[in-house]
Amino acid sequence: MKAKADPQRDQFDSSAIHCVGIIPAMHKRRIASAVRDIVEWLGERDIRALVPAEQAETLGLPETASSLDELSERADLMLSMGGDGTFLSTARIAAPRGKPLVGINLGGFGFLASVPSGDEMLPALSSGLKGMLRLQHRMMLQAAVKRRGSEAASFLALNDIVVGKGAFSRLFRMRTSISGDRVSYFPADGLIIATPTGSTGYSLSAGGPIVDPDVRVIILTPICPHALSARTLAVPPDRVIEMKIPDLHGAEVNLTADGQEGFVLHSDDVVVVREAPFSARVVVFDGSSFYARLRTKLGWGSHR
C-alpha cells in the first residue's frame, strides 16, 4: 500500500539556495564571530549573505539589505542567529513570504533553534543543508483588534497571542466565544491562545498541555482563573476565537504577540484570533526531533 503524503511536511532543494537572509541577535556575546563565520562559509559556496543594513555596518559586512522586507523578499532561506526570541521574530518575517527557516542557537535555552553554535555550527549546517531539505509546517496565528467597528491593530504569532492584565491591574472578566458560541465569562488574569509550537512556552507554565507541532490545533489556556472548573481547551484550527474586553474602569489590559509585540486594549475592544493563512516552514535536521528536545531541554520522561 502506498504511504499517504504528509500534508504538514514538504521538501526544498538546497541547490536552489543562492541567497540567505541572516537575522542576528546583536546583543549575544558570540554573535559577531558567528555571523562572520557563516558569511564566509556561504561565500565559499557562492551563496550571497544578506544582513539588515544597520547590523551589517556594525559587523563590518559588505553585503546588506536596506530593510527586513527587502531581505525576506530576496532571500531563498532565512537564518535566525540568536535564541528562541530571535527565532520567533524571524518566523514572523519569513512565514508570510513562504521562506524556509533555520535557527542557530546562540542563546541559553534554545528549544526552537535546531543548529548548535560554536565548533558544531558549520559541520551541522554542512550536513543539514544539502540535497533535499525536509520542511515542517509550523502553524501560526493572526490576531486583529477591533475598536468601534474598525481594525485598530493586527499581529502574527508563532507561539501565542496573550490577552492579560498589566502590572497593577485587578482580575477582569472577558467574554470569550469560539466561532460564535460563548465559552467563558469567569474572572482571570487573562487568556493565552497558543499554537502547538507555543504549547511548550507560556501556555505550559500556565498549566496547558504539550502538543506535537505536527498537530494543528488552537490551545486556549486561562491565566490564574478564579474558577475551579476553568481548564485548558483545545479546538480545531478552523475555529475563530473572539474576546470582548469589558469596561476596564481604568485598569490596564494588554495584547502581546509571541511576548515581543504589544498593544494596550481599551474597554469594549474585541480581539479576534484565528489560524494564519500561511505556516512557518522550518527546516528539520536529522537528530533534532521534537521529542528529543523534550527530553534534553525540558527533562520530559527522564528519571533523575
> Over 60: is that where the pLDDT of 220 sits?
yes
The domain 141-275: what is its CATH number?
A: 2.60.200.30
- The reply to whether 9-139+279-298 and 141-275 are identical in fold is no
Neighbours of 292 (CB within 10 A): 10
Question: Do the beta carbons of residue 223 and residue 190 sit within 8 Å?
Answer: yes
As a whole-number percent, the residues of the chain with pLDDT over 90 amount to: 58
Helix, strand, coil % (nearest 5) of the chain? 25, 35, 40
Give the residue among 303, 258, 285 at the shortest CA–CA distance from 95. Answer: 258
Model pLDDT for residues 144-197, shown as the tens digit of each residue: 999 998 999 999 999 999 999 877 667 788 899 999 999 988 888 999 999 999
Q: What's the average model confidence in pLDDT over 220-229?
A: 87
C-alpha cell at 237: 484550527
pLDDT at residue 300, rounded to an integer = 74
pLDDT at residue 49, rounded to an integer = 92
> Over 80: is that where the pLDDT of 86 sits?
yes
Give the residue among 117, 120, 84, 114 at the shortest CA–CA distance from 100. Answer: 114
The domain 9-139+279-298: what is its CATH number?
A: 3.40.50.10330
> Over 60: is that where the pLDDT of 6 sits?
no
Q: Which amino acid is at 89?
A: S
User: pTM for this structure?
Assistant: 0.90
Model pLDDT for residues 236-282, shown as the tens digit of each residue: 999 999 999 988 877 889 999 999 999 999 999 999 999 999 999 99
Question: Annotated active-site positions, please?
Answer: 84
Of 13 and 4, more confident: 13
Largest CA distance in the chain: 63
For the chain, the structural domain boundaries read: 9-139+279-298, 141-275
Model pLDDT for residues 130-145, shown as the tens digit of each residue: 888 889 999 999 999 9
